[in-house]
Amino acid sequence: MILSWLVLIPILGLVPLLAVSRSERAVKIVAVAVTLVELAASLVVLASFQVGEAGFQLRESAEWLPSLGIRYELGVDGISVLFLPLTTLLTAISVLYSTKTIKTRVTEFMVAFLLLEVGMVGIFMALDLFLFYVFFELMLVPMYLIIGIWGGQRRIYATMKFVLFTLAGSLLMLVAIVAVYLASGDEGHRTLSLPALIAGRGRFSADFQFWVFLAFGLAFAIKLPMFPFHTWLPDAHVEAPTAGSIILAGILLKAGGYGFLRFALPLFPYGTQAWLPAIILLSVIGILYGAIVSTVQKDLKKLVAYSSVAHMGFVTLGIFVLNLQGAMGAVLQMLNHGIVTGALFLFVGIQYEKTHRRTIADLGGLANRWPLYTTFFMVFTLASLGLPGLNGFVGEFLVLLGTFAFNPPTGLGGFFWGPLAGIGVILAAVYLLWMFQRVMFGPLREAYQKLPDLTPLEVACALPLLVLTVALGVFPQPVIAIIEPSLARILALATDPGVTAAFR
Amino acid sequence: MTDVQGVLPEIIVTLTAMLVLLGESILDRDEGGTWLPVLTATGLVAALVAGPFTMAPTPLFGGFLTVDTFTTFFRDLFIVLALVATAVSPSYLRRRGLPIGEYYALILFSTVGAMTIALASDLITLFLGLELMTIPIYVLAGMQRRDRASNEAALKYFLLGAFSSALLLYGFVWLYGVTGTTDFGGITAALRSAGPASGTTIVALALVTVGLGFKAAVVPFHQWTPDAYDGAPTPATAFMSVAPKAAAFAAILQVFGALAPLQADWTTALALLAVVTMTGGNVVAVAQRNVKRMLAYSSVAHTGYVLAAVAAFRAGDSAVAGVLFYLAAYGLMNLGAFACLLFLDTEGTRGATLTELSGLAKRHPLAGLLLAVFLVSLAGIPPTIGFVAKVFVLQPVLEAGLTWLAVAIALNAALAAFYYLRVVVHVYMYDAEEGAPRLVPSWLLQASLALTAVAVVALGIVPNALYAWALEAAAPLVR
């Protein structure tokens, strides 16, 4: 039942929240409390997880739409179990930080955030494709409102673009899901349950997999986002309120990468093999393009947003080189990017709250006044550029290792793609350090002389992220141990010798 | 006795309509405004209750009517839609000084017509039902006699409706000429034994398609829709956008079910019409600023989705069940969306423009929320009934091997999301402007719409019972 509680807690939390909706202060307290309870519940899930087992654990299963063989089926494995605490932690931090920054329509904001949390924890637990889709879409409307109501100047344009891009992809995925359902068995024996589908994936012909993978892939590529489907991201990130940016970068983008690993790879090995060259090409383009475009950004928030495009390129690259190092790197990169970029957006937000400027040229010298801020921001910037000893390094390093080991029978191998991706890492150091120098060092502007350093609330928001950044950088082994068995199983499914032989 | 017992709900609704007319002449305006809606609702509920006692294993009235699961599904759907329409109307009618008794009587008569379509097992009864359903709607559209738009709407609707009825009737005549019978079962049998379609059957098929296409507002026969919807009083629009459409599809299912032996000839034609209809409706809806007109075009797009499921008829039960479920879903959410416009006191028959809706969520949080729920459902986003309805349509379409049609539905749904969510943008993300229309939230309107919205969400999460019912209702049609 513990997994169902993760879905239920935010929903049940709406009751006390709406009951006290007359007092803004009470609403904020209830919202923070609900997200903390949810965080605790996700830690219980993590604690009761048996490390070393590859399959799904803590499973729950109940009839939902029996006439269609659709089930309410939840479960976690080594990959998904880590995303749950990440989600709940980032949500708690976002809500906590928003208690200070959101000043209009507080109740609506908190309701939207709790509903968003339902969708987010849901996608990482759903083992039924239909249920996954429902959670996937459930994230859409709250985020649409969060950007559209509490966002910046061009929020309406940004939120519409975000919704339409995501919907276009996910509706095609819906068609594919129904097609998978119809192909899953004879009438009366059809299912959308992931374990059953994997067991019966022999029914999916190579041709079928080619198209269905394309539909799933488009949805995930847009969500991730992968070059050239990324154009919604800078707008959405820049216009979203700080809490929205944190969640968008920290969790929503991961839904794409997670979807590839959870559904596309094990279900459609032929499709994976067929589309792999294209995805690797787009990933490397994304890494380089994201890095180059980040370098020339004038807006601080936009710079961090474009850096996400580059970082997500590493995720798809790592997944689709189809070896354990690469995929492990990809999963770690997703987790670490969630922590680090979430933190970077938090600090850009804090800085903006104080100075009301986001243009890099208008900033400068902030290090003189804000020692605490500078320390935190420095650590996260260095983690983002992949400094060894901090968590960002682990993922990117493993992805690069995996890429060099990538050795397809035809086409360009790891020794072509590896160095190109490596350039991306160097460029990350260039744009991030240059940004840090322009924002933090140099002469301090008159207008910023009186601005205070981090408040205790802001420290409380940032501290857990800082601890994780350092801890996962120094000692990633426990996390790797959790992920490895499940990931190895997925890769074994995706690289079935029979399947790869067909492509020789 | 059994013959009469079988049509008990229809008799109850007809009698109620007459009583309402009588009541209008006895009661004064104030009393009428209070009691006539109550009388209407009572009659409808009584008909709903009588429904289960009418199941008849054999055809009634010499084979003109059949009461089966298909009939009861539609009958209940029409009654529920009429009930919602009854509940949302009173304050508007009173404010506008519209004749209350006539309004409710017309809705009831139209409902009887729609119910007759579901009862029909013969071309003649079907045609009678269609006419009985549409003629009151022409009058409803023109009810505001002093309003020019309303007059234009009624005339346009009437002329095109009469024209399409003539075409349909002509098609029926050809069908009779080909098969020698007007009975659905007989037509199917005759066509089956006749083998592949000849020239004359194709003419009959084409005429019937065009005639029914007009009634259901299939592109390119939809031209009457926006003007008729726009010109009619808003609560009437809410009703006429759903019940006649569901009734038209009941007729389409009955007729094309009888024409099942010719499937090879009509599947592709209907599939193409479906794509043209959904795309045409959506593209034009994007350009609308008046929300009433936008919803009118969007209803054309929804016709396309339903037609896609009809085109997938060869998939069997699931196709017909998909049509039925979608019609029920569409009925609730579209009626709800139109009725939400009743929160605003706009001038004439005109619905609200986007700017007039700006800031609605701040001015009246419940109205904003309700409208948002209905629009999100129309856009097909979970967890609403509009989403499951799309899934139930996609399934038979893919099962029938019409993958391209399924992709067209998906892309259209994304396009449609744009204009639905644009309304939500105005409701939630803009502030109200100077001179925004006065809000007139009657408690009845709020309560009935809140109930409908709860149904829209609840049936989106647990659609089991409704879908099982739709499957059961589909069985008689798949012979």
Contacts of B462 in chain A (CB under 8 A): 64
In terms of Cβ atoms closer than 10 Å to its own Cβ (0-12, 13-18, 19+), residue B151 is: middle
Tell me the angle at which helices B464-474 and B385-399 cross, rounded to the nearest 10 degrees.
Answer: 40
Q: Choose, out of A63, A67, A214, the residue to mutate when testing the contact with B (most B CBs < 10 Å).
A: A67
Distance CA B236, CA B221 (A): 21
Among the partner-chain residues A145, A181, A182, the one whose CB lies closest to the CB of B428 is A145
* Amino acid residing at B381: I
Do residues A380 and A469 lie in contact, with contact meaning Cβ atoms separated by under 8 Å? Answer: yes
Residue A261 contacts by C-beta under 8 Å, 6 or more apart in sequence? A79, A319, A327, A330, A331, A487, A490
Structure tokens at A452: 């205070």
Query: How many of the other CB atoms lie within 10 Å of CB of B433?
Result: 10
CA distance A275 to chain B (A): 20
* Tokens at B117, concatenated: 């379509």
Distance from chain centroid for Cα B301: 13
Note the residue count of chain A.
504
Is A51 within 8 Å of A81 (Cβ atoms)?
no
Compute how many other C-beta atoms are within 10 angstroms of the C-beta atom of residue A161: 19
Cross-chain residue pair B410–A172, CB shorter than 8 Å: yes
Question: Which two three-digit tokens encode residue A181?
Answer: 């359902």
B108 and B42 Cβ atoms separated by less than 8 Å: no
Q: Residue B428 and residue A148: Cβ atoms within 8 Å?
A: yes
Alpha helices (H) along A240-323: 242-247, 253-259, 265-267, 269-295, 300-320
Residue A184 touches partner B, C-beta closer than 8 Å: no
pTM of the model: 0.92
Domain that holds residue B212: 3-477
Which residue has 């048996």 as its token pair? A50
Q: Which residue of A has its CA nearest to B380?
A: A171
Do B51 and B75 touch, CB atoms closer than 8 A? yes
Which phi-psi region, left, alpha or beta, contains residue B384 (left: φ > 0; alpha: ψ -120 to 50)?
A: beta
Chain A residues near residue B426 by CB distance under 8 angstroms:
none
Residue of B nearest to A118 (CA): B383
Q: Which residue has the tokens 């069985």?
A: B475
Instruction: Go through chain B and tell me how many residues it has.
Output: 479
Tokens (6 digits) for B450: 């809140």
Domains identified in chain B, total number: 1
ipTM over 0.95? The verdict is no
Cβ-contact A125, A102 below 8 angstroms: no
Rg of chain B over all Cα atoms, to the nearest angstrom: 21
- Asked if the Cβ–Cβ distance from A167 to B417 is below 8 Å, we say yes
Pairwise CB contact (< 8 Å): A134 & B382: yes
* pLDDT digits 0-9 by tens, A134-164: 999 999 889 999 998 898 888 889 998 999 8
- Extract the tokens encoding A355: 């100075």
Residue B120's DSSP bridge partners are: B65
pLDDT 10s digit of each residue in chain B, 479 long?
578 888 999 999 999 999 999 998 898 888 888 899 999 999 999 999 998 888 777 788 888 898 999 999 999 999 999 999 999 999 888 888 888 999 999 999 999 999 999 999 999 999 999 999 999 999 998 888 888 888 888 898 999 999 999 999 999 999 999 999 999 989 999 998 888 878 888 999 999 999 999 999 998 888 888 888 888 888 999 999 999 999 999 999 999 999 988 888 889 999 999 999 999 999 999 988 889 999 999 999 999 999 999 999 998 889 999 999 999 999 999 999 999 999 988 876 577 888 888 888 889 999 999 999 999 999 999 889 999 999 999 999 999 989 999 999 999 998 999 899 889 989 988 888 887 888 888 899 999 999 999 999 999 999 999 999 999 999 988 86
